[in-house]
Structure 1
Amino acid sequence: MLPRMKTRQKVLVLYLANSALDAPVIAWAVYDGTGQTLHMAGDDDTPPYATGLDALKDGWRLFQASQLLPHARGEEHDVAYLKYEFFFEQLVEVAP
């Protein structure tokens, strides 16, 4: 009997320039639950995708987007955090 494959999750976090999925990626992180990649994709200067839409086209599934909340009056230009965060996943079959 062949060993049964196990399913593992890869998570891709893309921070976009604005709330549209076709906006440019400005920061990112990748977490590989398969154990095949031991570093984050953000270790180099090139994002894995140019936009969130490109990740969707490559088979990543969007499962969370940041809630769109207006800035408080006077804080419209605050850049203390990256507001437009999108979480994607891929389910990958790995050998046991």
Structure 2
Amino acid sequence: MTVDSPTATVLRQQVLVLYLATSALDSDVVGWSRYDGTGHTSPTTGDGDEPPYGTGIDALRDGWRLIQAAQLLPPYPGHEYDVSFLKHEFFFERIETLQADR
């Protein structure tokens, strides 16, 4: 007779970076990146034409946790309409439970 030992589990993080049109979480996604610590997927830059979510709120509703929001820095006088980088960056995470390898 054998006794089944409980299966060990480990936690792995998934990270989602959404660049929004404005500083509001309900504004449209204009860029994104994904990082998967579970190893289930291997997303790369440009691997899809459609964002994973329409807005930051949509990601929250799907279980992603907001861990960092973009700083709201005022533009330098005279540079209010310059285009440079995507400044409305939001970091989300989701923790997945996996079976530990033995």
State the Cα RMSD in Å: 1.1
The Cα offsets for residues 12-47 of structure 1, whole Å up to 9 and x where unpaired, read as: 000000000000000000000001111237411100
- Return the offset for 1:3: 2.4
Gaps of 5+ in 1: none
Rg (Cα) greater in structure: 2
How many correspondences in the alignment?
A: 96
1:62 and 2:66 correspond: yes
Partner of 1:4: 8
Deviates more, 1:2-11 or 1:43-52: 2-11
Gaps of 5+ in 2: none
Aligned to 1:53: 57
Report the TM-score when normalising by structure 1: 0.95
Counterpart for residue 84 of structure 2: 80
Q: Which has the larger displacement, 55-64 or 37-46?
A: 37-46
Structure-1 residue corresponding to 2:22: 18
Using the alignment, how far apart are the partners of 1:5 and 1:41 within structure 2?
30
Q: Give the equivalent residue in structure 1 for 2:31.
A: 27
SS at match of 1:39: coil
Question: Is 72-81 or 43-52 further displaced after alignment?
Answer: 72-81
The 10-residue stretch of structure 1 (34-43 or 61-70) with the greater mean CA deviation from structure 2: 34-43
Measured in 1, the distance between the counterparts of 2:69 and 2:46 equals 19
CA distance in 1, matches of 2:58, 2:42: 23
Runs of 4+ more than 2 Å apart: none
TM-score by length of 2: 0.89
- Aligned-residue identity in percent: 56
